[in-house]
Structure 1
Amino acid sequence: MPKVRIVDIEDRRFRVFSSPTVPGGREFVLVHGIGISHRLFSRLHRVLSAKHTVHTLDLPGFGGMPRPDSDPDIADMARDLAEVLERLGIGPVVAVGDSMGTQWVVELGAQRPDLVTHVVAIGPVADARHRTLFAQAAALGLDSLREPPSANARVLVEYARCGPRWYGRQVRHMIDYPLEQRAAELVPPLLVMRGGRDPIAGPEWSRAVARCAPRSRFVEVPGQPHLVQHTAPRPVAEAIEWFLAEVPQ
């Protein structure tokens, strides 16, 4: 069973699920996307924890965590993530994010390269084609037709727990965040990954984000939707292992 710890930073509460320490392995931090929770990373967490120490988070307002009165943007949340890692003595880490989580981990890597060895961005957002609320909703609706029932059911539950007000506050930051610019400022290497059938993070956009970073790789998992870490955890884990061996810190 994972160890569960709570970290409060002002009015923002984080929950951290940590697997047992694996001697000789790396430390991973898995950061979910907007509206969802650690549960959409549970399969990848399980696969990675066979060889590594893995920490999966629930961010403030998501996964049943209290919704803050404050309105942290991407940079604020990344600073909080760094403080969570420092308080718990975690790191340096391989920081893995999916969807909006890619923004938080890229920002964490840009702000604190001392805490991050590598950054993995799965299904990065916001694609240049989808930088309005309507376009985001349309892409999300299309993706729901490609996700398995287990993913759609979990997403619906988590969106209901999050609530429209907190989601709406955070999605503004997601659309405004300059991911390409911050990827260009990364010191840690960047892996950009997408499912081959992901309508949210398109192939041109995902490759463009990878090209922005000084040291990067791009991987596409054929036939998979946006939540590829849920639908194909083993190929995702294998791609991450390849990246860590291919591009040293």
Structure 2
Amino acid sequence: MSSRYLLPVAAVLASDYNIMVPDLPGHGLSSKAPNALPVVEQAEIVAAWLRELKVEKAVVLANSYGCEIVVELAIRHPDLVHRLILTGPTADPSAPTKFQQAIRLFADGFVEKSNMLAVLLRDMRHLGWHRAMQTTQYMIEYDYYPRLPLVKTKTLVARGGKDPLAPQKWVEEMVSLLPDAQLAVIPDGPHNINFTTPEELGLLVRNFLA
């Protein structure tokens, strides 16, 4: 997914914070590559981008697959990450196949805003089928279990109450593995709470950072 689906929550928070929303390699307005990049490589690219911009101690917010990337960022470059916010983190190990993830994504479509689906389809066309399948494979192969205890950054894990991709049991397990974490739920929120319920997520972020 591109930065487009993070723009609603970015707009909500922009009055109080200096917001930067990048397009990861192969997504949105970034240059295309023949293949998708693994999680660790993407984390290193984000780290290099932050250092190039001379950003230190950032509050890093990610959604879905992006949560894997920023977890690696926080582990590998703790000097860059002041706080970590994981929204709708995937992939839940109880759905370890592309087909199972696709079924959950389909179910989520019924609770997202219609314009969110337009963003998704546009981004999928840009990404291309080959890289989309590679990205999904990297997502489901990533093993959170040995990595989460290594995150020393204070973390907020948030999900929508109607999110089929990040079930309550899964996010509770994540919070139990993180050394310093709290959980928040937006009751009627879908998977992309950053897009569909930005005001509610913005309030959670402000309270977390207060």
**CA distance in 1 between partners of 2:75 and 2:50 (Å):** 15
**CA distance in 2 between partners of 1:46 and 1:153 (Å):** 19
**CA distance in 2 between partners of 1:148 and 1:71 (Å):** 27
* More displaced 10-residue stretch of structure 1: 205-214 or 62-71: 62-71
**CA distance in 2 between partners of 1:71 and 1:165 (Å):** 8
How does the TM-score come out when normalised to structure 2? 0.96
1:137: which partner in 2?
A: 102
The within-5 A match list for 1:104-183 is 104-183=69-148
Change in CA separation of 1:198 and 1:71 when aligned onto 2, cut-off 3 Å: closer
1:98: which partner in 2?
A: 63
Q: Secondary structure at the match of 2:173?
A: helix
The within-5 A match list for 1:190-201 is 190-201=155-166
1:115 alignment partner AA: L
Change in CA separation of 1:78 and 1:230 when aligned onto 2, cut-off 3 Å: same
The within-5 A match list for 1:30-49 is 36-49=1-14
Q: Deviation per CA, 1:76-126, whole angstroms, max 9, x where unpaired?
A: 111111011001112220111000011111110111110001111100011
- Consecutive aligned runs of 4 or more in structure 1 exceeding 6 Å deviation: none
1:81: which partner in 2?
A: 46
Q: Unpaired runs of 5+ in structure 2?
A: none
Residue 229 in structure 1 maps to residue 194 in structure 2: yes
Residue 217 in structure 1 maps to residue 182 in structure 2: yes
Q: In the alignment, is the contact (CA less than 8 A) between 2:25 and 2:42 conserved in 1?
A: no
Q: Deviation per CA, 1:1-56, whole angstroms, max 9, x where unpaired?
A: xxxxxxxxxxxxxxxxxxxxxxxxxxxxxxxxxxx211101111111110000100
**CA distance in 1 between partners of 2:104 and 2:164 (Å):** 6
Query: In the TM superposition, what is the alpha-carbon distance from 1:234 to its structure 2 partner?
Result: 1.4
Identity %: 29
How does the TM-score come out when normalised to structure 1? 0.82
**CA distance in 2 between partners of 1:167 and 1:174 (Å):** 10
Root-mean-square deviation (CA), in Å? 1.2
1:240: which partner in 2?
A: 205
1:61 alignment partner AA: G
Q: Secondary structure at the match of 2:21?
A: strand
1:177 alignment partner AA: Y
Higher share in helix: 2
1:186: which partner in 2?
A: 151
**CA distance in 2 between partners of 1:48 and 1:182 (Å):** 29
Q: Secondary structure at the match of 1:217?
A: strand
Query: In the TM superposition, what is the alpha-carbon distance from 1:71 to its structure 2 partner?
Result: 4.7
Q: In the alignment, is the contact (CA less than 8 A) between 1:64 and 1:162 conserved in 2?
A: no
